[in-house]
Amino acid sequence: MAYDATPRPGSTVDVGDSGPQPYHRLLRNPVTMWWTVILGAFAILAGWMLWSVVVLSIQLGIREDPEGTVSWFGLLATNLSLIVLIPLSMLVAQKLNRQAPGLLSSVVGRLRWRALAWFGVAAVALELVMLGIIQVGGVDLLDDGGSGVAKDAAAVIAVTLVTSAFQAAGEEYFFRGYLLQAVGALVRSPLVAVLVTTVLFTMAHGIWPWESPALFLDRFAFGLVAGLLVIRTGGLEASIAAHAANNVVTFIFAALTNSVGDSLGATDAPWSLVAVDVVKFVAFGVIALLMARKLRLETTCDLPLVAAPVPGTGPGRGPGKRLV
């Protein structure tokens, strides 16, 4: 079936967009109207909210955790409510914005599993090193942290190992995937796209600078490093690895110290812990960039950006024609 790459009136493509495209510009294809990326972002949010209501209602109907605590079942429900962002983001990008499959994952049209594995090893190793520094150095943890081992520690650890990496990937596919490309479809500057999505990511965690400057900086620093890595590596692999490693190590440690509720519902953080976190994020960013160079990862896309045929093409209408 024929495809027409001629820009449609009102599409997001301009004359300066010819040639290989960087990751944040991949939703700027010849047949996508500029407003559909905004509609797409709200569509994903609406779908996520609906799914979350269903999942969390089922959870509360079966078992409600005491205030201030999170059981393995509560953690499972939370993770399942966020995992849905992966298929939602990909579905909206392909069906509404007509993007070729896989271009949310990377500029080569798929997840680069070898790179993801190496980034994952580096991220987990760095998390463990920093956790050791926190323990040996006496760095303050969350103010309301628990003590001892949680009663359901084994179940929390099992849920964490099975679902937390996918939960982290869900957030990355939405914030550093769809939203980054949506902003990039409207604004050429990668720095603007990263800053906008970083602010939205931080706000989505319910953290405001006037409520907790330290925790706001922690979330903002992660979002900024993750967004820059997506641009510089051409895909989500590094950001997924960093996010997943952080969540997995955090919740396993929380299960062993009976502080799952404090970790999941944190509203503040000590500056000493944030300082360690920021150093960790920056260190991983540097390591990931060196690894990306070693792995020779592509950072621009020369694949077709459009997944579906333009209306007016196909059998009986001839290739390259458009409905006007």
Residue 72 lies in a domain: yes
Task: Output phi, psi for 119, to 5 deg.
Answer: -60, -40
Q: CA-CA distance, 167 to 183, in Å (whole number)?
A: 23
Residue 48 lies in a domain: yes
**Amino acid, res. 204:** A
| Sole residue written with tokens 């820009």 | 7
CA atoms within 13 A on the CB side of 98: 21
Helix axes 213-233, 271-295, angle to 10 degrees: 0
Q: CA-CA distance, 175 to 170, in Å (whole number)?
A: 9
**Amino acid, res. 211:** E
Q: Tell me, what's the pLDDT at 6?
A: 55
**116-140 burial by CB neighbour count: b if 16+ within 10 A, else e?**
bebbbebbbebbeebbeebeeeebe
Residue 214 lies in a domain: yes
Q: CA-CA distance, 196 to 64, in Å (whole number)?
A: 36
Residue 94 lies in a domain: yes
Q: Tell me, what's the pLDDT at 65?
A: 87
Residue 324 lies in a domain: no
Q: Tell me, what's the pLDDT at 311?
A: 54
Q: CA-CA distance, 119 to 43, in Å (whole number)?
A: 31
Q: Tell me, what's the pLDDT at 5?
A: 52
Q: 261: Cβ–Cβ under 8 A, 6 or more apart, which residues?
A: 65, 68, 69, 70, 146
Q: Tell me, what's the pLDDT at 9?
A: 60
Q: Work out the number of other CB atoms within 10 angstroms of the CB of residue 32.
A: 25
Task: Output phi, psi for 55, to 5 deg.
Answer: -65, -50
Per-residue pLDDT tens, the chain, 324 aa: give them: 334 555 566 666 554 566 899 999 999 988 889 999 999 999 999 999 999 999 999 999 998 888 878 899 999 999 999 999 999 999 999 999 999 999 999 999 999 999 999 999 999 999 999 999 988 877 777 644 456 788 899 999 999 999 999 999 999 999 999 999 999 999 999 999 999 999 999 999 888 887 889 999 999 999 999 999 999 999 999 999 999 999 999 999 999 988 888 788 778 888 888 999 999 999 999 999 999 999 999 999 998 899 756 555 444 443 333 222
Based on C-alpha coordinates, what's the Rg of the chain? 21
Q: Tell me, what's the pLDDT at 29?
A: 87
Residue 315 lies in a domain: no
Residue 308 lies in a domain: no
What's the predicted TM-score (pTM) here? 0.90
Domain of residue 241, residue span = 15-301
Q: 78: Cβ–Cβ under 8 A, 6 or more apart, which residues?
A: 70, 167, 264
Q: How many domains does the chain have?
A: 1
CA 87 to chain centre: 13
Q: 225: Cβ–Cβ under 8 A, 6 or more apart, which residues?
A: 242, 281, 282, 284, 285
**Amino acid, res. 120:** G
Q: Which two tokens stand for residue 185?
A: 């479809």
The DSSP string of 198-216 is HHHHHHHTT--TTT-HHHH
Residue 321 lies in a domain: no
Q: Work out the number of other CB atoms within 10 angstroms of the CB of residue 208.
A: 12
